[in-house]
Amino acid sequence: MPSLSQPEDTIPSHWYFDEAHYRRELESIWYQDWVCVGHESGLARSGDYITAEIGTQSVIVTRTDNGLRAFHNTCRHRGAQLCKESSGRFRNGRIICPYHTWTYSLEGALLATPARVEGGQFDNDDYSLYQVHVDTWRGFMFVNLAESPATSILEQVQDAPLVDNWPLESLRSVHQESTTIHCNWKVFWENYSECYHCPGSHPALCKVVKLYKKGTFEPDDVPGWTSADDGDAETWSVDGRSTLPTLASLSEEDLSRLDTFVQIVGSMYLVAHRDYVRMGRLYPRGPEEMELVIDWYLPEERADTPLTELQSIIEFPRQVVAEDAELCEINQKGLHSIQHKHGTLVAQEFELREFHVWLKKRMAED
């Protein structure tokens, strides 16, 4: 049974709000790891693009005739932002700076500098856009801001084999919601990593997922717990019932689980159900603010399902997120106490301990 044998100290409280420490985390973690920016089905045509904000960095991801490309959202002339919108399409396959109209190909090559007065040597090849590493895992797009990524995406995704039977590549986002939460990104990730708070804070969730009412994710934590205690819920929805077709590719073992989680520590979690898939993406916006973007995914053949038929699977996770956001914000405020130097982890918070060990190791490497 995974648990802590005795209470342990958390990481220092100032790690959750200190500006200098936050900048170190950006450099050591967020600018070194693969960060998910969405599903590649959102870039269907050559010239389609999205922008993503990771810490202080803005990145463009676009589809070209040769696949995906990613760049810093910065013109090579004097550093102007190239794209203001979160998504769009580059007309005529050209990226044009809105300031002085320097023009780039979708591959990032400088093509033209209109109205520039000739003077001295100027070679367009010297002024291509700043490249960013981009890759995909099972249809999801990831960027990495490091000069040379230390790991592959697959090395970062925990428990990836658990979703082998889900058709992730052919999914389509049918709904997206973005929430600004006034807390440090670590506060939210810690909340996600434990269910100690569930009985008192998520009454609807505990009705659907019976085990959560015991304050744990692990059946072994509850003496005598059997599969019969799980209840008859089929999926994460308001009443636990599914009104969508079961994905045909799933095995009996897949169907035996109400939810299947995979994750990249700190930045992404994917929850696979028998009838839909949900992904949450975290983005730090400051020492005490983050953005949570959640997408609901269905197979391509079901992507035109009216939203009126999806309200039960949308409203249920939305309520859970709202409850968690309130908890995270009061947690963030309380951390500022001059008396509270660190917190305490109890038995079922073993995943928080693992997160803190991972975090300390990463920070020691900077």
- Token match 């804070």: residue? 201
In the predicted model, residues of the chain with pLDDT beneath 50 are 1, 366
Q: 3-state secondary structure string, 103-132?
A: EEECCCCEEECCCCCCCCCCCHHHHCCCEE
Domain with CATH 2.102.10.10 in the chain: 32-156
**Gap between the Cα atoms of 43 and 87, Å rounded:** 9
- Identify the pLDDT of residue 2: 61
CATH H-level superfamily of 32-156: Rieske [2Fe-2S] iron-sulphur domain (2.102.10.10)
Q: Say if residue 8 is exposed, middle or buried (CB neighbours under 10 Å; 0-12, 13-18, 19+).
A: middle
What CATH superfamily classification does 1-17+157-366 receive? Naphthalene 1,2-dioxygenase Alpha Subunit; Chain A, domain 1 (3.90.380.10)
3-class DSSP state for residue 334?
Answer: helix
Residue 105: what residue type? Answer: S
Q: What is the largest CA-CA distance in the chain?
A: 82
What is the pLDDT, as a whole number, of residue 3? 65
According to DSSP H, which parts of 71-218 are helical?
153-156, 185-192, 198-201, 203-208
CA distance linking residue 315 with residue 330, whole number of Å: 23
Round to whole Å and give the CA distance between 82 and 343: 44
Beta bridge partner(s), residue 70: 61, 132
Give Cα separations from 337 to 12, 188, 344, 359 (angstroms): 12, 19, 15, 22
Delimiting residues of CATH 3.90.380.10 domain(s) in the chain: 1-17+157-366
Q: Backbone phi, then psi, for 228, in 5-degree steps? A: -65, -25
Record the pTM: 0.95
pLDDT at 119: 84
- Report the chain's C-alpha Rg in angstroms: 22
- 36: Cα within 13 Å, side-chain hemisphere: 27
